[in-house]
Amino acid sequence: MKKSEFGFIGDIATMFGSLPHHGFEPIGDDCTVLSMGDEALVMTTDMLIEDVHFLRFASSAEEVGHKSLMVNISDVAAMGAKPVATLLSIALPESAQGEWAERFMRGYHEASQREGVALVGGDTTASKDKIAINVVAIGRAPMKNIKRRSEAKVGDVVAVTGKLGISSKGLVDIMFGDLNTAAAKHHRLGQARTTEGAWLGARSEVHAMMDISDGIASDIKHIMELSKVGAEIHIDKIPTDYDIRFATTGGEDYELLLTVDANRFDSLAEEFSIATETTLTKIGTITESNTLSWLENGAPADIELKGFTHF
């Protein structure tokens, strides 16, 4: 369960902490983990609400179907697991019950097919005004492959896959009515790093991992908090084609943020790019300090990152 704007999530973890766990790990990571002997099952859920997470005029129904799957399997990939199945709940107002619903399912099916993910259950119901979608993604991996936010070690390299900022640049384009820029299309049709996540899961030099949901400025803090470490991030090393604000505080890039044994980073990055055709870029170092420092060309950076509030 992720942090939320309502402030009662912390209370919830405390409230439910005393109940029997039945083998599930406590709340706090991209997915919950259930150990079944040598194998782990991971599960995550995300809800998408019309006019909060998508606008019907700005995204096609197929794109909403695609995105509903991607946001969830990205969390599975972030654990080092392979997504295998989903459950889909969908509440439809009358205006979305015919063509919109069918086109949504087409987008969801196409993305499921590409990722080789089964649809194993769900619920469909009516709603009064707005579309509500909930997806649960289930992944499997050898237990030893599971990557947690809490495993970063002092001295680790902080690295990211791919390039950052394109999704939030696309969101701003959409807000300006420019629906067809490359970045806007990426925002709607970005691909989760499923091959990359499972590949990195199998590597013991990868310590902590998560997907980038809210931008690295915010997400690295989850790793710091749970691993009880600090971090230095080099702004000039962040791989991006856009404004640094998009690359640091924009979210939904579906890229992975990870920490790696420093002695083994270079060879890992080389093998990774050969195996997956995706780059792995060093952007900083895990420190002992408990604080987050931004550097630019080796000196403290003169920036203030405020974060981005989604519509």
Residues within the interface to a copy of itself (CB under 8 A)? 1-2, 4-6, 8-9, 11-12, 15-16, 19-25, 27, 31-32, 34, 36-37, 39, 41, 43-47, 49-53, 84-85, 87, 89-92, 97, 101-102, 105, 109, 112-113, 116-130, 132, 134, 136, 138, 140
Helix intervals (H) in 93-243: 99-115, 166-175, 182-189, 194-201, 216-227
In the complex with a copy of itself, the residue whose CB is nearer, 5 or 302, is 5
Which among 78, 230, 234 has a CA at the least distance from the CA of 153? 230
Q: How far is the CB of 156 from a copy of itself (least distance, A)?
A: 26
Task: Transcribe 140-153 into DSSP letters.
Answer: EEEGGG---GGG--
Task: Transcribe 91-123 into DSSP letters.
Answer: EE-GGGTTHHHHHHHHHHHHHHHHHT-EEEEEE
In the complex with a copy of itself, the residue whose CB is nearer, 40 or 286, is 40
In the complex with a copy of itself, the residue whose CB is nearer, 126 or 299, is 126
In the complex with a copy of itself, the residue whose CB is nearer, 92 or 160, is 92
Task: Transcribe 255-290 into DSSP letters.
Answer: -EEEEE-GGGHHHHHHHHHHHHS--EEEEEEEESSS
Which among 50, 256, 84 has a CA at the least distance from the CA of 160? 256
Q: How far is the CB of 271 from a copy of itself (least distance, A)?
A: 27
**Please, are residues 248 and 215 in contact by the beta-carbon 8 Å criterion?**
yes
Q: How far is the CB of 277 from a copy of itself (least distance, A)?
A: 23
Q: How far is the CB of 239 from a copy of itself (least distance, A)?
A: 29
Q: How far is the CB of 244 from a copy of itself (least distance, A)?
A: 27
Which residues make beta-bridge pairs with 137?
44, 86
In the complex with a copy of itself, the residue whose CB is nearer, 1 or 295, is 1
Q: How far is the CB of 250 from a copy of itself (least distance, A)?
A: 18
In the complex with a copy of itself, the residue whose CB is nearer, 14 or 180, is 14
Helices (H) and strands (E) in the chain, counts: 9, 12
**Please, are residues 151 and 208 in contact by the beta-carbon 8 Å criterion?**
yes
Is the dihedral angle over the CA atoms 79, 84, 89, 93 positive or is it negative? positive
